[in-house]
Structure 1
């Protein structure tokens, strides 16, 4: 077979395949011809960006650690700090040491007499609640529902909430 015959045969085959493909992909439905053709499905062209976390409310006592001396304060911290406040049951002073602060991160330890408790949370909107009692303590860490802890009888409640900007909001609430 000559070169030109092969080219014509290939062209004829290509034309036939194109016609078959077009016929197979076209619609012969005559109902609803007034409707617009369906919109093709496409992938979104914009990248998914996480919704920014709203800023924490400003702390009532700012960054003043001395405001916690009476066992009732709301402060923000951006670096490790230590402060003292009255221990529950009038048994001296308790100590709160923030040992780690960063974007979406808080780590701290509370000591009162022979009791100690550690709290740590990582992630947006995460935090810890520590319940300090005269004869013991306990922690609960995770997503916090309340912006401010409620006072409890014979208990000092400490709440630490993370934020994306590396600021932690601390509440200390005494009975």
Structure 2
């Protein structure tokens, strides 16, 4: 045999021995006798609990509907309720009737003189803004920022927002 043939088997055996040692080292585990046993993995339970939604809205005037008598309030509404406050432009009194409140839901109607407006929102982070003016009203419903609306010239602004567990936040702002 020539030298070249003799070296190949040795190189192959050396490589095989090195790979065996590396494989054995990579696959083996050592435990210190003082180590705690591994925590067994458990399967999730079959019952599913939904993640909690945002907390109920906190209102500056609590649930006191009489705080809205001056068209400037922030209350939590948990059930249908009717509020009365001054309408803008000397058109008498306005009536706001919340007709439905529930998880992620609010519906209401506003009457002021000959003006009538209905609003309703369903879903997380949803709500409505209603603008009452002496010569008309208007609504805008959809995603709302959780901040108090700004007063508008010659208008009463009503903001109604939903919450996960039922209560709605109602804000009335006048100029």
- Normalised by the length of structure 1, the TM-score is 0.71
The equivalent residue for 1:7 is none
The equivalent residue for 1:67 is 67
1:104-134 deviations in Å (ceiling 9; x for gaps): 1100000000000000111111111101111
Shift of 1:52: 2.9
Shift of 1:53: 2.4
1:30-49 deviations in Å (ceiling 9; x for gaps): 9xx8988xxxxxxxx76997
The equivalent residue for 1:106 is 106
The equivalent residue for 1:95 is 95
Shift of 1:91: 1.4
- Normalised by the length of structure 2, the TM-score is 0.71
Would the aligned equivalents of 2:53 and 2:165 in 1 still touch at CA under 8 Å? no
Root-mean-square deviation over aligned CA pairs: 2.2
**Which runs of no fewer than 5 residues in structure 2 stay unpaired?**
1-18, 28-42
**Which runs of no fewer than 5 residues in structure 1 stay unpaired?**
1-29, 37-44
Question: Does 2:163 align with 1:150?
Answer: no
Q: Please state whether the residue corresponding to 1:53 is helix, strand or coil.
A: coil
Q: Please state whether the residue corresponding to 1:67 is helix, strand or coil.
A: helix
The equivalent residue for 1:84 is 84
